[in-house]
Amino acid sequence: MSTAARPRAAALVSGGGTTALNLIEQDRAGVLGVSVSLVIAHRTDIPAVERCREAGCEVVVVEGPPCAATSDRVDELLGQRAIDLVLLAGYLRHFRVGPWRGRVLNIHPALLPSFGGKGMHGDRVHEEVLASGASRSGCTVHFVDDEYDHGETVLMREVSVDPTDTVATLSARVRGMERIAYPEAIRMWVAGRRSHDSPL
C-alpha cells in the first residue's frame, strides 16, 4: 500500500468519463478520501481521455484485445503508480482481479443482483428495468470479483421508477444517485482500511 497521506486510486474508463470526472472533482474538493492519480482507458478515441486530461489527471491508454498481455500491462501500470484502490468507472472490459482482490470497486446502474451480468451496462440496463415494470431502481457499489456484477455489495441507493419514465429520464435519475453513492462507498472503504490498520 502507498505510504501517502491519502490512498492512491486509479479510475478505469471506456466512455464519456462522467463517473471518473465526478470522482476527480470530489478528490479536488478534498472530500473523497483518496487521491485519483491515474486514469486508464482502453481506447484513445473515447471522450473520457481528453476530458480527464483537461481535469489535470494522468491518463494512460492501454489498447489491444482483452487478453492476458493487456491485463499484465494494466497490472504493471497500477503497480508502478503505487495504486491502492482501483475504481471501475464505466469500464467495459473484464478486470482481472488477481492481487487487487478487496481493492477494486465498481458501480452498477441497477439494484444487483437484478439487471446485472455480462453485457448489462448503460442504457440496456434501464431498458430492462422499464420493461420489467419494476417500481424501484438505483445503483449498487460492489467489490469486484471474477464474475460480472457479482462481488460483495458495499452499498445500494434507490430511486423510484415513474410510469412515465423513459430510458433517458430514468438514466438521469440514477446518474444523480451514482454521483452520491460512489464517493460514499469510497469513503467507507477508506474508513475500513484505517480501522483495519489501527493498532488494537
**107-140+154-200 topology per CATH:** Rossmann fold (3.40.50)
pTM of the predicted model as reported, rounded to 2 decimal places: 0.92
pLDDT over 90 for what percent of the chain?
87
Output the nine-digit C-alpha cell for 14: 471506456
Say if domain 6-96 classifies as CATH 3.40.50.170.
Answer: yes
pLDDT band with cut points at 50, 70 and 90 for residue 64 = confident
Q: Which residues are catalytic?
A: 108
User: What is the tens place of the pLDDT at every residue in 102-115?
Assistant: 999 999 999 999 99
- Give the pLDDT confidence score for residue 194 in this predicted structure: 61
Q: Is the CB of residue 102 less than 8 Å from the CB of residue 80?
A: no
What are the residue ranges of CATH 3.40.50.170 in the chain?
Answer: 6-96, 107-140+154-200
CB-based contacts of 77-83 (< 8 A; 24+ apart in sequence): 77/10, 77/38, 77/40, 78/10, 78/38, 81/8, 81/10, 81/37, 81/38, 82/2, 82/4, 82/8, 83/2, 83/8, 83/9, 83/10, 83/37, 83/38
Q: Is the CB of residue 32 less than 8 Å from the CB of residue 187?
A: yes
